[in-house]
C-alpha cells in the first residue's frame, strides 16, 4: 500500500505534527517583537498554567470530533459544573477531599444527556448541543449567578497551584491518549469516527462509542470547570464563556480531523500552547481587546481551512 512508501510517510508525518512547527514560528515571531517579555521563563510557565482549563476543554472537544461528531455545549458544561461545585463546596456537606467529584459528576450527567439525545434518539448533534448550550447556561445562572470567593482551600488547591494544574491536565491527556491509541476499544473508537458504516459491518455499534465520546467530553468539561474555579480561587457566572470556540480551534490546530477518526490526542499539548502563546503575545503587544476577538475568530477559520488542506494532501498522498 502507498502508506508504506517512505516518500509518503515523511509528508504525512510532517502534516500530522505541523502544529509543532506553527508553535515554534509563532513563538519566535512574538519573541522577536518583545524579547524582554516573551523570552522570560516565568511568562512561559504562566502561559501554560493559565490555559490548563482550556486544554481540558480542547480535550473534551477532541473526543467528540474523533467520534465523528461535535459538541457546542462544552463551555456551558464547564460553567454549570463550576456553579454546582462552588455551591456544594460552600455548604460543607461533602468532605473536602471528595469535592472534585462534584463538577466531574455534573459534567458526566450533562454528557449523558447529550449522548441520549444524539445517540439514543438520533437527533442532529449541532442542534442538540446548541440547545443544551442554552439549557446549561440558564441552569448555571439559576443555581449561582453571584461571584463566590469563600471556597474551601482544598477545593481550589489544584487549580491555584501552577504545577499541580499543569500536571492535572497532562495526566488527563495522557490517560485519554493511551486509551485511544493502544487499546482495542480505542481502535474501534477511531474506526467509528472514520467510517461508522464500515465499523457497523465489522460488528461495532457506532452509537455506543459516540455516546462514550459525549460522556467523556462531559467529564473533561466538568473538570475544566473545576480548574477554572481553582485558577481564580473563586467562582464567577462568566466562567468559561465563549471558550467553546477556542477549544474547537485548539483541537483542530492539534490535528484532530473534522471528518472524524484522525488525529493524535497528545498533539493537544502544542495545539493549546499555540493558542496560549498567541493570547500572551497579543497581550504583551497591547493589542486592542476587540481586535483580539476578531483575530481569534480568524484563527478559528484558519484552523478549519488548515484541516481541509491537510485532508486533501493526505488523500493525494495515499491515492
Of residues 50, 26, 49, the one with CA closest to residue 38 = 26
Domains of the chain (ranges, CATH numbers): 2-26+42-318 (1.10.3470)
Distance (Å, whole) CA 267 – CA 66 = 13
Question: Which burial class, exposed, middle or buried, applies to 162 when counting CB atoms under 10 A from its CB (0-12, 13-18, 19+)?
Answer: middle
User: Do 56 and 176 touch, CB atoms closer than 8 A?
Assistant: no
Distance (Å, whole) CA 319 – CA 312 = 11
**Buried (b) or exposed (e) across 200-235, using 16+ Cβ within 10 A?**
eeeebebeebbbbbbbbbbbbbbbbbbbbbbbbebb
Beta partners for residue 235, in sequence order: 148
DSSP 294: H
What pTM was computed for the model?
0.91
- Tens-digit pLDDT string for the chain (319 aa): 444 555 556 666 666 677 888 888 989 999 898 888 888 877 878 888 989 999 999 999 999 999 989 899 999 999 999 999 999 998 888 888 899 999 999 999 999 999 999 999 999 999 999 999 999 999 999 998 888 888 999 999 999 999 999 999 999 999 999 999 999 999 999 899 888 888 888 888 889 999 999 999 999 999 999 999 999 999 998 888 888 888 998 898 888 888 887 888 998 998 899 888 888 888 888 888 889 888 888 888 887 887 777 777 766 765 5
Question: Which residues, in sequence order, are CB contacts of 71 under 8 Å at separation 6+?
Answer: 60, 61, 64, 114, 125, 129, 214, 217
Amino acid at each position: 500500500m502507498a502508506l508504506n512508501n517512505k516518500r509518503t510517510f515523511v509528508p504525512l508525518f510532517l502534516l500530522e505534527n505541523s502544529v509543532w512547527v506553527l508553535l515554534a514560528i509563532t513563538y519566535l515571531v512574538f519573541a522577536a517583537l518583545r524579547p524582554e517579555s516573551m523570552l522570560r521563563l516565568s511568562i512561559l510557565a504562566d502561559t501554560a498554567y493559565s490555559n490548563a482549563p482550556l486544554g481540558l476543554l480542547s480535550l473534551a472537544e477532541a473526543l467528540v470530533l474523533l467520534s465523528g461528531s461535535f459538541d457546542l455545549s462544552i463551555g456551558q458544561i464547564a460553567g454549570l459544573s463550576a456553579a454546582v461545585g462552588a455551591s456544594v463546596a460552600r455548604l460543607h456537606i461533602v468532605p473536602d477531599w471528595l469535592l472534585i467529584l462534584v463538577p466531574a459528576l455534573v459534567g458526566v450527567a450533562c454528557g449523558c444527556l447529550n449522548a441520549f439525545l444524539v445517540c439514543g434518539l438520533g437527533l442532529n448533534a449541532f442542534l442538540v448541543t446548541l440547545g443544551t448550550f442554552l439549557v446549561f447556561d440558564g441552569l448555571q445562572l439559576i443555581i449561582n449567578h453571584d461571584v463566590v470567593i469563600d471556597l474551601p482551600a482544598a477545593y481550589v488547591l489544584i487549580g491555584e497551584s501552577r504545577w499541580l494544574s499543569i500536571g492535572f491536565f497532562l495526566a488527563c491527556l495522557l490517560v485519554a491518549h493511551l486509551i485511544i491509541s493502544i487499546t482495542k476499544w480505542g481502535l474501534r473508537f477511531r474506526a467509528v469516527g472514520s467510517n461508522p458504516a464500515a465499523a457497523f459491518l465489522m460488528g461495532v455499534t457506532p452509537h455506543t462509542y459516540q455516546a462514550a465520546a459525549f460522556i467523556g467530553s462531559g467529564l473533561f468539561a466538568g473538570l475544566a470547570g473545576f480548574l477554572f474555579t481553582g485558577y481564580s480561587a473563586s467562582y464567577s457566572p462568566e466562567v468559561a464563556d465563549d471558550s467553546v470556540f477556542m477549544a474547537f480551534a485548539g483541537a483542530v490546530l492539534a490535528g484532530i480531523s473534522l471528518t472524524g477518526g484522525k488525529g493524535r490526542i497528545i498533539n493537544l499539548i502544542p495545539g493549546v500552547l499555540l493558542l496560549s502563546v498567541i493570547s500572551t503575545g497579543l497581550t504583551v503587544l497591547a493589542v486592542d481587546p476587540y481586535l483580539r476577538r476578531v483575530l481569534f475568530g480568524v484563527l478559528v477559520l484558519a484552523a478549519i481551512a488548515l484541516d481541509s488542506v491537510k485532508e486533501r494532501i493526505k488523500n493525494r498522498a495515499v491515492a
